[in-house]
Amino acid sequence: GQSYVIGCAVLYHNLVEINNDSISRENHVFSAMIMLSFLGVSLALLRHNWYPATVFVGDTYCYFAGMTFAVVGILGHFSKTLLLFFIPQVINFVWSVPQLFKLVPCPKHRLPRFNVESGRMEPSRVRKDGKGEIVNMTLINLTLQIVGPMSEERLCIVLLARAGGWS
């Protein structure tokens, strides 16, 4: 879903630059053509990956999406602007640094946990050396801490809306 949102933002940026007759107009036309194809593929994947998912995104799609964004950013001559669309990923990395560098315990999986009794997603926790528990440091868990437990479908909508707001 995030790739689709970022792709839409990149396409919008390209269309604005094309409309403004910028000096790199041809580069933005090229970038827009690639993004239209990418958005078609991503929308089809999103349809099958939406709750309840029947297809799950793996490394192959993630590499494909990253490569596509890198190509359009470099060949479209707006790589610095493209970085702005990745603000949520940068914030997630910065927020996760204490766990990633083992300053606090870091389990293999840091995704939210599903509470069977309530049917809602809750922030996952990890034990901190016998000193209690801490919430795993990801933006998804932080969102659940701030907003509170919610269904998986609503969590997806909230996260995509947040990504759209930052893009």
Residue by residue, DSSP assigns 96-144 as HHHHHTTSS---S--PPEEETTTTEEE--EEE-TTS-EEE--SHHHHHH
pLDDT tens, position by position, 34-55: 999 999 999 999 999 888 888 8
Whose tokens are 């995104």? That residue is: 57
Its pTM stands at 0.83
Six-digit token string for 43: 């929308």
pLDDT tens, residue by residue, 123-132: 999 988 777 8
> How far apart (Å, rounded) are the C-alpha atoms in residues 125 and 27?
46
Alpha-carbon span 167 to 150, nearest angstrom = 24
Q: Which of 74, 93, 91, 83 is nearest to 24 (CA)?
A: 74
Instruction: Judge whether 104 and 134 are in contact, CB under 8 Å.
Output: yes
